[in-house]
Amino acid sequence: MAKTLAQKVWEDHLVRRVAGEPDLLYIDLHLVHEVTSPQAFEGLRLTGRSVRRPDLTIATEDHNTPTTDIDKPIADLVSRTQIETLRKNCAEFGVRLHSLGDANQGIVHVVGPQLGLTQPGMTVVCGDSHTSTHGAFGALAFGIGTSEVEHVLATQTLPLQPFKTMAVTINGALPVGVTSKDIILTVIAQIGTAGGQGYVIEYRGDTVRALSMEARMTICNMSIEAGARAGMISPDETTFAYLKDKPHAPMGADWEAAISYWNTLQSDADAVFDNEVVIDATSLSPFVTWGTNPGQGAPLSANVPDPEQIEDLESRGAATRALTYMGLTAGTPLRKIKVDTVFLGSCTNGRIEDLRAAATIIKGHKVASEVTMLVVPGSAKVRLQAESEGLDKIFLEAGAEWRQAGCSMCLGMNPDQLKPGERSASTSNRNFEGRQGVGGRTHLVSPLVAAATAIRGTLSSPADLLEV
């Protein structure tokens, strides 16, 4: 029977299949961070269980960590306790940990790929919904809760009901200034925040084939914002070239064996998807959100929508509520919206290519006087790479702040937060109420839009910089 990529990876990890019970799936890689793991380790302790495969587990500190003064103890005592708990747990259970200050510390979804631990055809889980990022390699990767974290620590498996599969096919050349962030924001606006519910999305088409690994990770990362548990892209030469010589990539005969397996990881030509969506890349433009869920977005050239024009009553109510929270008036051109803060970073857009893209735009310009721009590399390694390329100087000379690696302002958990009423253009993934700090207002944007917005002070694309 013809199979999709997701079905192939699923079946290659079946430990046990019995009618009337969930499938038992083997987990190849378990990523751990400080927020969703303490209760799981405590559960192991209470039941006298151990970590079955510490050698398939890796931890990093990212959500709570400050992005300044990282050589000093974390000022927030509760955050410090959570970090120290992770350190104690990893030491007790023999789990590899990259702590603050370590060259491999960073956001868990940036660290896995850069170490070469994320590879095609693997099952990857983490107590974090953006685990879908790793699907860019053709892995089946999805977020889990703390009960499941404990389950994977104890058994290296998970009982799961099979997902449905959805194909999102994107064809055509992307117009200048349009990035993979614009693609995924468009997809979410089109299918809605529940459109992918119950599905694994496979992104296909020649547009996707032409994207770098970093750009593919951005797309897969936000699959969860469309309600899908996972997003996948079948591996190809771009994937193999990225992995080659990464620290944990296979070597020698193992590399050859891996390549021949990885080449089988394509959906069969006659595979049937449960749902299909087609996007014409040539019609896309820079895309931003105006509301309080990632599906409430529009092209940057559009106006803030008028809820009265929305037919569906539920969506109309949600839009009305969102505009009140966001402090926006229907009909205002999105380009006229002023921001206080620009955040460049996160597991969505905190990789080296994102920093390079933004630096290209910002070079020789100044951040607008009323705007604060935070540039936060996704990992310590990304920061070092960027510094070796001089990107830090470009951002600093423009008046931006150059920070240490972590989740930073993506979520209001560490010192980097918006104040009530403040508005941001953010390359992160969620514009929920209060996501970046109580009362904060978030517009999700691409790194290019973030850079142009920092310069002009209003939501802007690089093309707007040409108008004098």
Near another protein in 9-28, by CB under 8 A = 15-16, 20-22, 24, 26, 28
> What residues between 176 and 215 interact with another protein by CB under 8 A?
193-194, 197-198
Q: Which one of 3-11, 116-124, 232-240, 341-349 is the stretch in contact with another protein (CB under 8 A)?
A: 116-124
| Residue 128 sits in the site that holds another protein (CB under 8 A) | yes
| Residue 423 sits in the site that holds another protein (CB under 8 A) | no
Q: Is 425 helix (H, G, I), strand (E, B) or coil?
A: strand
Nearer to another protein, 210 or 384 (CB): 384
CB of 80 to another protein, least distance (A): 9
Among positions 4, 7, 64, 165, the unique one binding another protein when judged by CB under 8 A? 64
Looking only at the bridges linking them, the beta strands covering 14-16 and 23-26 are antiparallel
Region of residue 245 (phi > 0: left; psi between -120 and 50: alpha; otherwise: beta) = left
If you write DSSP's letter for every residue of 124-189 in order, what string do you get?
A: EEESSGGGGGGGGGT-EEEE--HHHHHHHHHHSEEEEPPPEEEEEEEESPPPTT--HHHHHHHHHH
Nearer to another protein, 71 or 314 (CB): 314
Nearer to another protein, 125 or 208 (CB): 125
List the 164-171 sheet strands across, edge first: 230-232, 199-204, 164-171, 275-280
From residue 247 to residue 286, what is the string marking binding to another protein with x (rule CB under 8 A)?
xxxx---xx-xx--x-------------------------
| Residue 418 sits in the site that holds another protein (CB under 8 A) | no
Look up residue 455 and give its two tokens.
Answer: 């310069």
> What residues between 281 and 300 interact with another protein by CB under 8 A?
293
> What residues between 132 and 151 interact with another protein by CB under 8 A?
143-148, 150-151
| Residue 54 sits in the site that holds another protein (CB under 8 A) | yes
Among positions 4, 65, 67, 119, the unique one binding another protein when judged by CB under 8 A? 119
| Residue 240 sits in the site that holds another protein (CB under 8 A) | no
Q: By CB under 8 A, how many residues form the interface with another protein?
A: 87
> Rounded CA gap, 152 and 66, in Å?
29
| Residue 48 sits in the site that holds another protein (CB under 8 A) | no
Angle subtended at Cα 45 by Cα 40 and Cα 49, rounded to the nearest 5 degrees: 90
- The Cβ of residue 236 has, within 10 Å, a number of other Cβ atoms equal to 16
Q: What share of the chain is helix, strand, coil (3-state, %, to 5)?
A: 40, 20, 45
The answer to whether 129 and 84 have CB atoms below 8 angstroms apart is no
| Residue 456 sits in the site that holds another protein (CB under 8 A) | no
| Residue 58 sits in the site that holds another protein (CB under 8 A) | yes
Residue 314 phi/psi, 5° resolution?
-60, -45
Among positions 3, 70, 81, 330, the unique one binding another protein when judged by CB under 8 A? 81
Closest CA to 452 of 339, 349, 308, 311: 339
